[in-house]
Structure 1
């Protein structure tokens, strides 16, 4: 089933403009995001072809099946609550039955957790981006050899340096475990290449060291220590960095760099917005999508605040949300029974018509 199928079969119950335009934070380059609600035909709902949501290829148009929509409302999902809170000018279509789903059924202290928790996760993401921008990873990944060291007295020397100094080749080395010593190996060298040693690694892409069969009483040339944890950390960072490079929005990235930002400015704007909305819910018991402080939020998007300044704003808001929750008159969580009863009544009416 596609979005065109939903429209052709009159299955759409709600369609709204979402994202920056609904928050009053759109600029000349902003896309128009659409979110909505649909219901499945009776046979498909009761059968084996339940679809929780349908979207276009770019995921900027998303429709949620009625049951899934209510499920996410009960969980206080920020994106879904914002759909329900859509201002009249952002509603493109609304079936009369959707008026049965009202914000008061779903706003609760639980939104502190979902809104603020999500915002904090975005702050952590921003910190990760900050690290990526300021600490780019080389295209060439380091090898196991780069994390091996030769022990010389109380000092260590990088293996590659030691090999070069002594004009040795890693392929002619043999390694043997040192009992009761994690990642410590006895290294022997076969200058004539007749002992069949396997070398330190088989090839540059190897992720483990090679062990060789070393005869008893063979003179030990050196002891090698492998920084396994450092190598694993490098591999994780390398993978994460280049995945980010592959997936990043180049236009946004270029804009951040051009403005001297070491964070995703647009993402941080929405993080602060989410925290402000969470505070509004806790103190006023309501949710308004369109923000009254457009210029202040756009200043963040345009890179006019430093990373440190944004962190201070975020930390202050988190603290204020914690305090507001303690005195909020909202229920601890949405009334699941009332929400489910409303959903059943809505679906019954839809399938009877």
Structure 2
């Protein structure tokens, strides 16, 4: 079910091929509100490489911005060292130099984005293309095969509680194939899962099954299986 949810999320919220940078998560206080750093740079005809940052005391991930034109000598390091940077760059700022703006770097959101971007790239690289195209073709945006097996296992779990046996030959084949063919919406399936989980919980509360297996019986069964196997070989 987790895999089906992950596929649902990745298909419906695909990430751009071009990775975002630190600059996309920076915002400048402006006119009693805020604007993105990129908008602010464009409006002022600045390049980020010409700017310098200094920490603002007592404020997490908030920085004072300065510009190269304010210096008589030396250079600032820029706001970011490049597209792959994981944090902003800080510069040495002359004492008493007045800042031209205040900026916040939403570092938490950037860290989450970087993790999701990495996971998305790995998913694209490793995904089963045939199953992915099948998922797209039925238009329900979830891994239908994975979802089918989810319901099969849930039904079998309930049967174990009710009948105290594993039923391999399925009498719910038609229902499972409908899931496999993408005939249900994702949200409807999630509601069915929640309902099934409640049924299973009640079934096990009423079941006469032992909470734990009898270890000696299990060990004897294992020995017998191995003995029969090696005798056949």
TM-score by length of 2: 0.92
Instruction: Quote the Cα distance in structure 2 between the aligned partners of 1:347 and 1:238.
Output: 47
Q: Which residue of 1 aligns with 2:181?
A: 302
- Equivalent residue for 1:267, pick from 146, 153, 156: 146
- Equivalent residue for 2:8, pick from 130, 137, 140: 130
- Equivalent residue for 2:106, pick from 227, 230, 251: 227
5+ residue gaps in structure 2? Answer: none
Partner SS, residue 69 of structure 2: coil
Instruction: Quote the Cα distance in structure 1 between the aligned partners of 2:48 and 2:174.
Output: 61
- Equivalent residue for 2:190, pick from 300, 311, 319: 311
Q: Which residue of 2 aligns with 1:176?
A: 54
| 1:147 matched to 2:17 | no
Q: Which residue of 1 aligns with 2:77?
A: 198
Q: Which residue of 2 aligns with 1:210?
A: 89
| 1:280 matched to 2:159 | yes
Deviation by residue 1:267-308 (Cα, 9 ceiling, x = unmatched): 101101111000000000000112112111101101111112
Q: Shift in Å at residue 312 of structure 1?
A: 2.3
Aligned CA distance change for structure 1 residues 211 and 164 (closer, same or farther; 3 Å)? same
Deviation by residue 1:120-140 (Cα, 9 ceiling, x = unmatched): xx2x33222111111111000
Instruction: Quote the Cα distance in structure 1 between the aligned partners of 2:169 and 2:227.
Output: 34
Instruction: Quote the Cα distance in structure 2 between the aligned partners of 1:216 and 1:297.
Output: 71
Partner SS, residue 191 of structure 1: helix
Deviates more, 1:334-343 or 1:226-235: 334-343
Aligned CA distance change for structure 1 residues 278 and 342 (closer, same or farther; 3 Å)? closer
Instruction: Quote the Cα distance in structure 1 between the aligned partners of 2:53 and 2:64.
Output: 6
TM-score by length of 1: 0.62
Partner SS, residue 63 of structure 2: strand
- CA root-mean-square deviation: 2.0
Q: Shift in Å at residue 346 of structure 1?
A: 6.5
Q: Which residue of 1 aligns with 2:40?
A: 162
Aligned CA distance change for structure 1 residues 346 and 316 (closer, same or farther; 3 Å)? closer
Instruction: Quote the Cα distance in structure 2 between the aligned partners of 1:272 and 1:318.
Output: 10
Aligned CA distance change for structure 1 residues 305 and 347 (closer, same or farther; 3 Å)? closer
Partner SS, residue 309 of structure 1: helix
Deviation by residue 1:12-61 (Cα, 9 ceiling, x = unmatched): xxxxxxxxxxxxxxxxxxxxxxxxxxxxxxxxxxxxxxxxxxxxxxxxxx
User: Map of 1:1-353 to 2, 5 A cutoff?
Assistant: 122=1, 124-191=2-69, 194-343=73-222
5+ residue gaps in structure 1? Answer: 1-121
Instruction: Quote the Cα distance in structure 2 between the aligned partners of 1:297 and 1:342.
Output: 32
